Structure 1
């Protein structure tokens, strides 16, 4: 039997990346339409930092998967875009990926301030600062790609080698954001235990923490895994074809997880679900039913009881504080 050609294998891997990013883009476009439209239309949602940051996260993921799909598509069809167009695509791709991480960091800091400094948070928080935070994160996210691509090198093929530039800069950004997020949630856990709202009987609080941790993991882990694979390949401990196979598997799996995680996180917000059911009644019921079926299949031991609203003290971690002055 003739061994497969390396170019054919590379084309297959590229096709997997293209289709994975395209499917994720379509899913994100659908949920951006219904969730972000609801957030923008409802005044009580667009004035809450929690929902505005969800808006930024979903929009950043939409841009990322859209540009990622276009980037892999032009590689798959072997197009030759102009160097300026290639730089623009790579810049937007790295910027949107960095902005997702910065938005997650902003969400962690927002919860940290709301839980650990509730009076100052409620007194000093205004409705427009989360929108300005989104603009700030986009500006900060553009620093790395603009710095790397402003050298004006000679035109090169627009491939994945362009994305591997500045791996050290990216790991520094990821490490700093990870440290800030870890510190924020450690302080949230400490404060919640001190107040007595995070105990064995408060399963909702534990599920919220677990959901936040899972959401952060699906965005942070692939960066560390890819960096580890690159180090192993450079040291000669991992073959190039094995590294390519592992890379495409990591990309496909975590792309699906990154696509689903912010949607599940947003649909868990009861205030958002109420407005979604009013704007899209039949659709939201079907999506909620699908999520409940998934939970029952993955956690068969959980009782099938309807979800009730918890008190404010029990939902300290996930509940927005009232916007009242002190």
Structure 2
């Protein structure tokens, strides 16, 4: 899913490329996680605010996804023979962490929508109790249900844990991504309309325009790979493109997705809205 890590089928040498990309991205993101998430946990005002708690969950989800992606692609590169339970565990972590990235981005968009369009209600509830953390736990639980509903016991498992195991339920994944995308687009349209109505979004307010442009670009890099991978898979299955072309495109898309995880702290955590 953008989840780009769950729809392509690159093997062999491309697994080595994915390993290096995911490992470098994981190292960069780990540095940002230590700084930003420690600050959020340490500061009472931040850890009780939904916006920053969701940033915390987004960074953790991305870190887990890139870390497991590095392990998964490395064992493919080594032609390892993990047990069936180990393979299923890796796939479950990959799909659930990728799903939680999408769910958290959707929750962040809804949070901004409530803050802009319903400010009075938002200010009275955004710091109430521990509900922001409970929301993060809820998204993780939903994300965990997704791979459990897609993965079926493979009685013919041949001790080869490849990307073929990640291809199951592609249509369901696209429906899930499409639903989240529609919600995100709806919230951003409403935010733009409300901002124009209040007069805060104009040519003079360049900071606000840059923020919306940055967030839009960040979301596009997260979401668009999924919509590109799915037609690539269809074209490959209908023999309209060669396997080499599909694998190369999949690696480029995966690299773009990994870079998006690295710049997420800059967009959501280090830069003021």
TM-score band by shorter chain is over 0.9
Of structures 1 and 2, the larger Rg is shown by 1
Q: Cα gap change, 1:168/1:129 in structure 2, threshold over 3 Å: closer, same or farther?
A: same
Partner of 1:76: 77
Match of 1:237 among 235, 240, 263: 240
* Equivalent residue number for residue 20 of structure 1: 21
Aligned partners of 2:12 and 2:76 also within 8 Å? no
Q: Say yes or no: does 1:212 pair with 2:212.
A: no
Alpha-carbon shift at residue 39 of structure 1 (Å): 0.8
By how many angstroms is 1:154 displaced?
A: 3.0
SS at match of 2:12: helix
How many Å separate the matches in 2 of 1:98 and 1:238? 28
Gap runs ≥5 in structure 2: 1-9
Q: Deviations over 1:68-106 (max 9, x none)?
A: 001011111111111011101100100000000000000
Mapping of 1:247-266 within 5 angstroms?
247-266=250-269
In structure 2, C-alpha distance between the alignment counterparts of 1:102 and 1:255, rounded to whole Å: 17
> 2:133 matched to which residue of 1?
131
Shift >4 Å, 4+ stretches: none
Alpha-carbon distance in structure 2 between the residues aligned to 1:34 and 1:153: 44
Q: Is the 2:32–2:265 contact (alpha carbons within 8 Å) kept by the matching residues of 1?
A: no
TM-score of the two chains, using structure 1 as the length reference: 0.78
Counterpart for residue 273 of structure 1: none
Structure 1 position 228 matched with structure 2 position 231: yes
Distance in 2 (alpha carbons) for counterparts of 1:103 and 1:265: 12
SS at match of 1:60: helix
1:192 matched to 2:195? yes
1:1-326 alignment, distance < 5 Å? 10-125=11-126, 126-156=128-158, 157-269=160-272, 318=273
Change (3 A) 1:17 1:135: same
1:171 shift after superposition:
0.3
Contact 2:29–2:261 (CA under 8 A) maintained in structure 1 = no
Query: How many pairs were matched up?
Result: 262
User: How far is the alpha carbon of 1:240 from its aligned partner?
Assistant: 1.1
Deviation at 1:262, TM superposition (A): 3.2
**1 or 2 for the larger relative contact order (CA 8 Å, sep ≥6)?**
2
Q: 1:162 aligns to what SS in structure 2?
A: helix
* Alignment deviations for residues 270-300 of structure 1 (CA, whole Å, 9 cap, x no partner): xxxxxxxxxxxxxxxxxxxxxxxxxxxxxxx
Q: What is the TM-score normalised by the length of structure 2? A: 0.92
Are 1:115 and 1:188, in contact at CA under 8 Å, matched by a contact in 2? Answer: yes
Q: Which residue of 2 aligns with 1:291?
A: none
User: 1:186-210 deviations in whole A, cap 9, x for unaligned?
Assistant: 0001111111111111101101111
CA distance in 1, matches of 2:155, 2:250: 27
Q: CA contact under 8 A between 1:226 and 1:247: conserved in structure 2? A: yes
Alpha carbons of structure 1 residues 240 and 118: separation in structure 2 relative to 1, 3 Å: same
SS of the equivalent of 1:158 reads coil
Between the aligned partners of 2:107 and 2:162, the Cα distance in structure 1 is: 31
Structure 1 residues 215 and 81, CA gap change in structure 2 (3 angstroms): same
Change in CA separation of 1:155 and 1:10 when aligned onto 2, cut-off 3 Å: closer
Deviations 1:105-136 (A, max 9, x none): 00000000111111111223314111011101
Unaligned regions of 5+ residues in structure 1, if any?
1-8, 270-317, 319-326
Aligned CA-pair RMSD: 1.4
